[in-house]
Chain A
Amino acid sequence: MSTFSGINLASRALSAATKAVDVTGQNIANANTDGYSRQRVEQTEMDTVSDGLFAGRTRVGQGVEVTSISRATDAFVDARQRGDHSTAGYADQTAGVYADVDHLLNEPADDGLTEQLNSFWGAWKDLANDSSDAAAKAEVFHTGQTVASTVNTLNTRLSTQWSNLHDSAVTLTDQVNTTTAKIAQLNLSIAKASNTGQNANELLDQRDGFVLKLADLTGATTTARPDGTVDVSIGGSTVVHGSDSVRLQVSGNPSTLRGVSSSSQVTLSLEGSGTPVRLNTGKLGGVVDGLNDVLPGVAQQFDATAGSIASTVNGVYNPSATPGGNFFGTSDGSTTVSAQNLAVAVTSSTAIAGSTAGTKDGKTAAALGALSESTTGPNSVWRRQVTDIAQKVATSNTTSSVATTTALNSDSARESVSGVNIDEEMVNLVTYQHAYSSAAKVFSAMDDMLGTLINMVR
């Protein structure tokens, strides 16, 4: 132990306390930063090098050394947070798709399809009471057209929703690509920093934030590498490998709702290699499933309703299936009736025949009017579709709110591990401040003692 080593000891104490206060300041400054993990100084005591020639007893330690500034994180909690966020993203997106369908159904309402059908049957009943009345025929024609156009409007709205959803798929894919590029960039910076032994805490926090965003979008999983970088994979394919990233693209043929079928689906794939990426979680996964399953399913239900209307009415109006004698037909000439092409095939109201030819018995009109009482007629088909969709909406809402709550819980868990507590930082601040002033006191004591020593010899 040398004469002046005490000064060294004090100065080390001062610098350690200063660094600790700096870290506390950093924590407080970032208390509300998204994704920030609180940092702590790791201090170790410096011991004496006491082997060999200069070994001796009762040597005093050399002071304190700050070995590192550590980040408070828990990898398992982070992984759980990512998983819960991707589930919540998927459920939330699906619930959103269903909610839009719910609104466009427009039931129960005074201008919904049910009321239009009811008016249609009523017009036939009026015609049955006097089957030559031109006004009654005009009413049948008009209400029939309204029914057809209401069905067409349902289809149009659904198609528009599909197109909007497709656009959002493209937008989300762009977001995914931006995020993976950023992750790769940060990986590079982190690798450089760790190779030179620098502290990369802020970069790690930023990168983890982007990985969480990616998980929310696509359900990403990570693999850590020894140099501190991570590889990220989506749907089984690696999109970030060290400092390289691969871009995702929306592929697949269908550009409209009607273009989707079991052989023609919207898919995601990697740019360049074209490897398909199958997502079953995350917002983007929810969007793709909405495009391929949910909305086409609803379209099929609308088609079933349109088909029921056309076939039931035509079956009574034109029982011998005379060509050109149908009441409902298609607007585009095809033989299959769908919600898109349902239209009134009768050319004008005067051509409507409500009775058997040559009489005014109103039989046909009465039979058509009686369809309002039928338990298998178009009313009941539509009612079942509406109820079915309503239940699916309600279920998706419940799933979404449960998933959101779970995600909030895992957010809290992460916050609990990595978050900044102001009270704690305040206590630390006071502690380190005291340490600093005490170390300064030690320094001034040593200074006095040395002064005494030097002035001893005169």
Chain B
Amino acid sequence: MTSRITNRSIATQSVANLQAGLAKRAAAQDQMSSGKLISKPSDDPVGTNNALQYRADIKTNEQFVRSADNGASWLAVQDQTLQDVSSRVAQLRSLAVQAANTGSMDPSSRDAITKQVKVIKDQLVGLSNTAYLGRPVFGGVTAGTAAFTQDATTGKVTYAGDDSAEVTRRVAPGTDVAVSSSGAQVFGADGSNLFDTVDSFLGALGSGSASALNASVGAFDTAGRQVTAGLATVGARANQVDGYSTLADERLDNLKSSLSTVEDIDYAESSINYNLQNVAYQASLAVTAKVIQPTLVDFLR
């Protein structure tokens, strides 16, 4: 039996088709006005999964850049400080050489040198407690405010920092870079640190002993080498942090563009699609108008 068509079934079918065309056009319009390919997860479940992953990665990489910058500042402060320390140590060494030249030294010149050395020692103590954002840069992970403390009566300086862990900054997935220099390493261990060397020098100046003064020269040499080694480490770490920061920046650019590919529309493609849907809808409107109008009544007299 061939299918019998009635006016109502034509009307119902036309309405259904017009509705479908209108819905497609509305979806294209919605995409264009919001600029988003994915307005709700069901639009593209796989794309949503990727978008969420990218978003997390972007935030992570932004954080890597911030941490790297923070680490770079730490290292810059240490670099500057250690250079100042190094020049002071060189000064002390030349004073020691001067003082060891006992032939031309008399108590009053030794007094003058002593005064100078005391001033330099105070400066060194201050430098060793240099702080960045409220934390002593040579104090490791200490919760206190100083890396070295000076006993008020004896003048002996001891390490007050905490070396149980290094200060690190996370600059890449699973990668932590150390940005602290332990005061104990750079200035020497307690009992034979730079300040103890200065104290022995002061003692040698007081006694005038030539052998002690000569020993001081050697000691200052060693101390100077330790500081230089510390500077080298700081320099190497600064380069490392810089490298990671650049890497994180590049990764960030890539991730942002990947996210955009998944989430955002391509305007050219979307506007072509919209026009297509629009044309299709107009065509179906025109055809519907032609189809639903004529009946036999028009032709009967």
Contact = CB atoms under 8 A, between A and B. Distances in A.
Interface of A: 31-32, 98-99, 102-103, 105, 107-108, 114-115, 117-119, 121-122, 125-126, 128-130, 132-133, 355-356, 358-363, 366, 369-370, 372-373, 379, 382-383, 386-387, 389-391, 393-394, 397, 408, 411-413, 415-417, 419-423, 426-427, 430
Contacts of B67: 125, 128-129
Given A361-B164, A411-B12, A387 B3 contact: no
Contacts of B263: 108
A169 to B, nearest CB: 24
B143 A360 contact: yes
Nearest to A366: B170
Contact of A108 (B16, B51, B141, B300): B51
A427 B16 CA distance: 29
Contact of A393 (B5, B6, B41, B162): B41
A355 B165 CA distance: 11
A379 B142 CA distance: 33
A422 B7 contact: yes
7 contacts: A103-B40, A107-B52, A118-B59, A132-B143, A360-B141, A361-B141, A394-B45
B41 A423 contact: no
Nearest to A108: B51
A98 B42 CA distance: 10
B103 interface: no
A122 B62 contact: yes
A370 B60 CA distance: 9
A389 B41 contact: yes
A437 B176 CA distance: 105
Contacts of A391: 42, 45
Interface in B38-79: 38, 40-42, 44-46, 48-49, 51-53, 55-56, 59-60, 62-63, 66-67, 70
Contact of A416 (B6, B55, B62, B176): B6
A419 B9 contact: yes
B55 A114 contact: yes
A383 B295 contact: no
A413 B13 CA distance: 12
Contacts of B173: 373
A128 B141 CA distance: 11
Given A359-B141, A383-B53, A394-B42, A420 B8 contact: yes
Interface residues of B, number: 52
Contacts of B174: 370, 373
B38 A422 contact: no
Interface of A, secondary structure class, is helix
B115 to A, nearest CB: 38
Interface in B76-113: none
A102 B45 CA distance: 11
A23 to B, nearest CB: 17
Given A119-B59, A412-B9, A390 B42 contact: yes
Contacts of B143: 132, 355, 358-360
Given A383-B52, A394-B45, A122 B13 contact: no
B42 A393 contact: yes
Contacts of A360: 135, 141-143, 167
A421 B63 contact: no
List the 10 shortest-distance A-B pairs measured between CB atoms, nearest first.
Answer: A419-B6, A390-B41, A393-B42, A118-B59, A390-B45, A361-B141, A359-B141, A423-B296, A426-B296, A415-B9
A355 B133 CA distance: 17
A121 B59 contact: yes
A369 B170 contact: yes
Most chain B beta-carbon contacts within 10 A, residue among A105, A416, A420: A416
A366 B165 CA distance: 13
Among B8, B133, B173, the most chain A Cβ lie within 10 Å of the Cβ of B8
Interface string B1-24: 001111111001100100000000
A363 to B, nearest CB: 7
A108 B55 contact: yes
B168 interface: yes
A361 B263 CA distance: 39
Contacts of A390: 40-42, 44-45, 48
Contacts of B164: 356, 359, 361
Of B53, B55, B62, chain A has the most CB atoms within 10 Å of the CB of B55
Contacts of B167: 360-362
Nearest to B176: A366
